[in-house]
């Protein structure tokens, strides 16, 4: 080897010196080492990581539901699923029955439905409601697969569905909803990792989270950061409670647009019936946007998630009652041509295929316009009427009535 060759060969001490002088390289090496140690430790013992999904920086509606569900000592007889359509009916029904405002963050049991079923079938029933704003069929599947199996699985799921739950122009991908993101922390949804993500960026984030312990647990680190910031605000500024909303309505509306997953415990109250319930809001513009540019791929995908949900329920021995939620004729008229008929055909066929039961409550004669607060959501009197109609339809259908009547009694 010539002297020239020797001079061209890198000197090992020089390489180490170069690395030592590069803060970026040192930071990368430190990150990889720490991430590897945490990943290996979690593989050896999952309980070593002290933070659970219930310790969350952002208290979304699904967080409030899961928190209360985890406190339940035994599985409920009946779980209600659905979007804001079911949410409005459930809270409105209890507000009308009890004549007391219902706090959306804390109220998760349908008192009215429990009483109606008890009056009809002469026995007690327990309910829990996972009806959440914007809930897609993919979200209902994520909730069912992640929470409603095992020791806490219900005997019956009553799932209120509507066309918007299967095709929404505002939806980027199934994995983009707050419900899906949060339930992914509770259960293993890796079997739908690819189909639930709509872009290479989302897939890249998913695989990065799978490969990096720190990136996968970034919500936990944000939680720690929020805890420290809140404690500092309490001690330095004297703030006592950082979870309640104390700001003008217009500021809160803007904050909600930028951080929709954070909901204060005092933020939404559904009040007993009043004259304001007679005011009808025309939200046709919102649903024109939701229904525009029909996306057949999205529709087929969401129908596929409903099928997955029905399959999980059948395999676990959970009876499912699908309820076609009431809508105004004005709302149905906004849908693309033939969409409503296609939706109805697909869901009824799936009901028959998986031995689910189907109740069609989208009948103008059952729900005239006076029961609606807008083109899609029932008002407070409409919520009470919905639960009464639902109870009547359950009792009138021998097969559905047998499902509810023959539920095994819970152990006391």
Residue 249 lies in a domain: no
Residue 254 lies in a domain: no
**Shared-domain flag, residues 42 and 68:** no
**Shared-domain flag, residues 40 and 88:** no
**Shared-domain flag, residues 24 and 77:** no
* pLDDT at 28 (0 to 100): 83
Report the relative pairing of strands 102-103 and 269-270 from DSSP bridges: antiparallel
Question: What Rg, from alpha-carbon coordinates, does the chain have?
Answer: 25
* pLDDT at 29 (0 to 100): 84
Number of domains present in the structure of the chain: 2
**Shared-domain flag, residues 133 and 273:** yes
Is the pLDDT confidence value at 1 over 60? no
**Shared-domain flag, residues 318 and 373:** yes
**Shared-domain flag, residues 27 and 142:** no
Residue 257 lies in a domain: no
Tokens 């949804």 map to which residue? 189
Residue 392 lies in a domain: yes
Residue 224 lies in a domain: no
Residue 216 lies in a domain: no
**Shared-domain flag, residues 283 and 193:** yes
**Shared-domain flag, residues 106 and 33:** no
274 burial (CB, 10 Å; 0-12 / 13-18 / 19+) is exposed
**Shared-domain flag, residues 40 and 140:** no
**Shared-domain flag, residues 82 and 132:** yes
* pLDDT at 13 (0 to 100): 63
Is residue 87 helix, strand or coil? helix
* pLDDT at 302 (0 to 100): 98
Domain holding 181, by residue range, is 61-204+268-405
Residue 139 lies in a domain: yes
Domain of residue 384, CATH code:
3.40.50.1110
**Shared-domain flag, residues 179 and 43:** no
**Shared-domain flag, residues 191 and 274:** yes
The residue that leads in pLDDT, 42 or 15, is: 42
**207-231 confidence digits (pLDDT tens):** 999 989 999 999 999 999 888 888 8
Residue 246 lies in a domain: no
Is residue 361 within 8 A of residue 254, CB to CB? The reply is: no
**17-74 confidence digits (pLDDT tens):** 665 567 777 788 888 898 888 888 877 777 778 889 999 988 899 999 999 999 999 9
**315-364 confidence digits (pLDDT tens):** 999 999 999 999 999 999 999 999 999 999 999 999 999 999 999 999 99
Is residue 81 within 8 A of residue 138, CB to CB? The reply is: no
């Amino acid at each position: 080897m010539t002297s020239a060759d020797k001079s061209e060969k890198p000197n090992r001490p020089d390489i180490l010196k170069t690395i030592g002088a590069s803060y970026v390289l040192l930071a990368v090496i430190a990150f990889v080492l720490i991430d590897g140690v945490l990943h290996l430790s979690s593989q050896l013992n999952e309980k070593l990581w002290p933070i659970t999904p219930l310790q969350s920086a952002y208290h979304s509606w699904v967080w409030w539901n899961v928190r209360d569900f985890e406190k339940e000592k035994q599985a409920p007889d009946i779980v209600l699923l659905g979007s804001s359509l079911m949410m409005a009916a459930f809270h409105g029904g209890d507000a009308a029955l009890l004549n007391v405002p219902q706090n959306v963050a804390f109220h998760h049991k349908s008192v009215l439905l429990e009483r109606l079923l008890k009056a009809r079938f002469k026995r007690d029933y327990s309910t829990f409601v996972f009806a959440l704003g914007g809930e897609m069929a993919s979200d209902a599947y994520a909730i069912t697969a992640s929470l409603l199996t095992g020791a806490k699985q219900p005997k019956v799921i009553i799932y209120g569905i509507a066309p918007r739950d299967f095709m929404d122009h505002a939806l980027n991908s199934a994995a983009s909803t707050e419900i899906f993101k949060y339930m992914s922390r509770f259960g293993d949804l890796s079997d739908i990792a690819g189909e639930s993500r709509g872009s290479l960026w989302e897939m890249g984030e998913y695989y990065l989270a799978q490969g990096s312990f720190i990136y996968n647990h970034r919500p936990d680190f944000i939680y720690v950061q929020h805890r420290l910031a809140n404690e500092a605000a309490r001690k330095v500024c004297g703030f006592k409670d950082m979870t309640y909303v104390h700001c003008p309505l217009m500021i809160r509306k803007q904050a909600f647009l930028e951080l929709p997953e954070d909901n204060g415990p005092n933020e939404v109250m559904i009040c007993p019936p009043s004259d304001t319930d007679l005011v009808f809001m025309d939200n046709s513009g919102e649903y024109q946007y939701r229904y525009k540019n029909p996306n057949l791929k999205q529709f087929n995908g969401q129908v596929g998630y409903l099928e997955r949900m029905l399959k999980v329920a059948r395999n676990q021995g959970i009876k499912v009652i699908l309820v076609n939620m009431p809508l105004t004729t004005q709302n149905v008229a906004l849908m693309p041509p033939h969409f409503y008929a296609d939706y109805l055909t697909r869901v009824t066929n799936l009901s028959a295929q998986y031995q689910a039961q189907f109740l069609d409550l989208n009948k103008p004669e059952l729900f005239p316009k006076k029961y609606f607060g807008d083109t899609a959501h029932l008002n407070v009197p409409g919520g009470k009427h919905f639960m009464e109609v639902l109870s009547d339809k359950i009792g009138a259908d021998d097969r559905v009535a047998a499902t509810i009547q023959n539920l095994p009694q819970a152990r006391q």
